[in-house]
Structures are given as structure tokens and as C-alpha cells.
Amino acid sequence: MSNPTSTEYETYYVPEKSKMAVMATIGLILSIYGAASIMNDMTFGDPTEPTSSWSIFLCGLFFFLATLFVWFRMAIRENIAGMNSAQLKKSYVLGMYWFIFSEVMFFFAFFGALFYLRNLAGPWLAGEGDGGRMNGILWEGFEFSWPMMQTPQEAVGGAVVQPIANNGSFTSAETSMAFAEVSHWYHWLPMWNTFILLTSSFTCHVAHLGILDGNKKKFNLWLGITVALGIVFLFLQVAEYYEAYALFGLTLNSGVYGSTFFMLTGFHGFHVFMGMTMLAIQLVRSLRGQFTADDHFGFEASSWYWHFVDVVWVFLFLFVYIL
């Protein structure tokens, strides 16, 4: 019994061979080599000695991004030319679903670290329970609270007394990012950011309803508003970082409070930047007339990503700022 065929099933399209994979590899490897070299120059290198790390990194990154641009353009052109079967389109949908799932797990690692540090490691360092004996030996005087306003190192007298740290010393923040004063509630940037991001998820959805109706004007308008809200969010995030560094003394060196705060909000901010860029590209594509009521996967995928970033923020707001 060999190869019984069924004619009602369409023939699947296997793309021609493509240079994209190798080009993207060259760009990617150059950029990670450059990035690693930059960091090693910074931490282990001799500052007087000039290196080519930045040039390698930037060349690699440019090459990588250019390749991705060409790759996506090719995929879009294939779709416009009608080469994509319904089955292939579903593969793209599945690809995006599982990509977003992998992103969820990436944030899960950092939220898990936050949970562990706040609820287990911190109290142990302060002497709680069986795990707490180290407090009397190494960190006498350290008391745990969250946000952690004094690092164990500072509690025992700072980097001079307790020099075990990777990169200088772990200083303490003066002010945390938590909600401070009811009378000045409107100064609290995270609240505005929450408001902006939730609104942008809503406007993104309105844009989606627009394209489903075939109403391109509505689509472009609300998509434009979404992108603009994304930019405002990023702007406020930068302002918040400035506030943290310049006014609050909260930096990456501020113990685990600074570490978790900047890593969680930083990666989230980066994902907002990515999502905003994706949506902006969809806006450009829409203005070029590439979307129809029943074929706008590029936008749909970007909007899922945008909603995902929004959901992450809700958790961030809850666990990083409020609780």
C-alpha cells in the first residue's frame, strides 16, 4: 500500500531554499560575540586599551535586523501573492501562540525569583526559622522588610566590612517605588502607566474590531492611538528610572529590591518597546493597504503580543509596586 492520495486536500507549499537562515545566523552570532566582549571589557578589561567590541556588536546587530526585515518582507510578499494556504496560515498562528507562551515562562522565572527572595530568602537572612542561623554569623543586625531599604551588607557596616560582592557594593535605596502619599497620588507614575497600558489594550481591541468590519479608517485611527500610548508609556518609564536613579537612590546595585525592580520592569519595558514597534509596523502596512477584513494576521499577532505585555504589567503593578 503506497501513497494513497486524497485530492480534496490542497497541496502543501514547501518554500524554495532560502539564504535567510544563514544570514540571520551571521548577524546573531556577531552581535552576541560583540555584546559579550563589551561586557567583558567593562568588567575585566583595561579601560585604556581600545577594543573593537562595539563595532562588532553594532555591525552584527545591523546585519541581524536587516536580515529580519528582509525575511519578514519576503513572508509578507508571499502572503500578498496568495502563496499561503489556509494550513500554512494556521502554522503561523500556532507559532505565535507558542512564542508568547515561551515569553510567559521567561517572565515566570523573574516573578518566581521575586517570590522566593521576598517570602523565603529575605526572612531567612534576617534570622527566621531553621534557615536563619546565618543571620547571627554573617548578617547580624539585618532586618528584613519589603521593599528592602537596607541591604545585609550595609546592615553590617557596608562594603568595607563586608566586601563579598561582585561589583563594588550593594548600597541601599533611600526611597522605594511603592505608593507613598495619598495627597500626592497623581505623582505616582506606576498608576498612570497602568492606566495608559490598560487603555492601550482597549484601543488595540477597538482597532481590531475596525479591521474586522473592513473599516480601515477606524483601524488606522485606533491603532495609531495604541502606538502613541505605547510611546507615552515608555516615556514615563524612562522618567521613572530617572527618578529612581537621581532622586530615590534606587539603582541596580540596591540589593535585591533594585535587582528585581529593574529586571522585571526593564524586561517588561523592552517588551513594550518590541510590541509598540510591531504595532507601528502594522500601522505602516495598513497605510500601504496590506490588510483586509479577513487577512490581517500580522496585526492580530502583534495585538496578541500587546495584550500579553499588558497582562504582564498587571502582575507587575500588583507584585512589584503594590504588594
Site for other proteins in 119-138 (CB under 8 A): 120-122, 124-125, 129-131, 134, 138
The residue within the footprint of other proteins, chosen from 177, 223, 256, 280 (CB under 8 A), is 256
Instruction: Please return the burial class of 243, using the count of CB atoms within 10 Å of its CB with bins 0-12, 13-18 and 19+.
Output: middle
298 binds other proteins (CB under 8 A): no
Q: Is 73 one of the binding residues for other proteins (CB under 8 A)?
A: no
Contacting other proteins (CB under 8 A), which of 165, 178, 180, 287?
165
Chain positions 197 to 236 lying near other proteins, rule: CB under 8 A, are none
List, in order, residues 6 or more apart from 239 with CB less than 8 Å away: 189
Residue 295: strand pairing partners: 292
**Which grid coordinates belong to 132?**
536563619
The answer to whether residue 143 forms part of the interface with other proteins (CB under 8 A) is: no
CB 256 within 8 A of CB 117: yes
Q: Which of 4, 289 has the CB closer to other proteins?
A: 4
Pick out residues in 91-120 that bind other proteins (CB under 8 A).
91-92, 94-95, 98-99, 101-103, 105-106, 108-110, 112-113, 116-117, 120
- Between 146 and 192, CB nearer to other proteins: 146
Q: Which of 201, 259, 286, 303 binds other proteins (CB under 8 A)?
A: 259
- Asked if residue 275 binds other proteins (CB under 8 A), the reply is no
Identify the sign of the CA torsion 214, 217, 221, 224: positive
Buried b (16+ CB within 10 A) or exposed e, 273-298: bebbebbbbbbeebeeebbeeebbeb
Q: Does 39 contact other proteins by CB under 8 A?
A: yes
As a 3-state breakdown, the chain gives helix, strand, coil percent values, each rounded to 5, of 70, 0, 30
294 binds other proteins (CB under 8 A): no
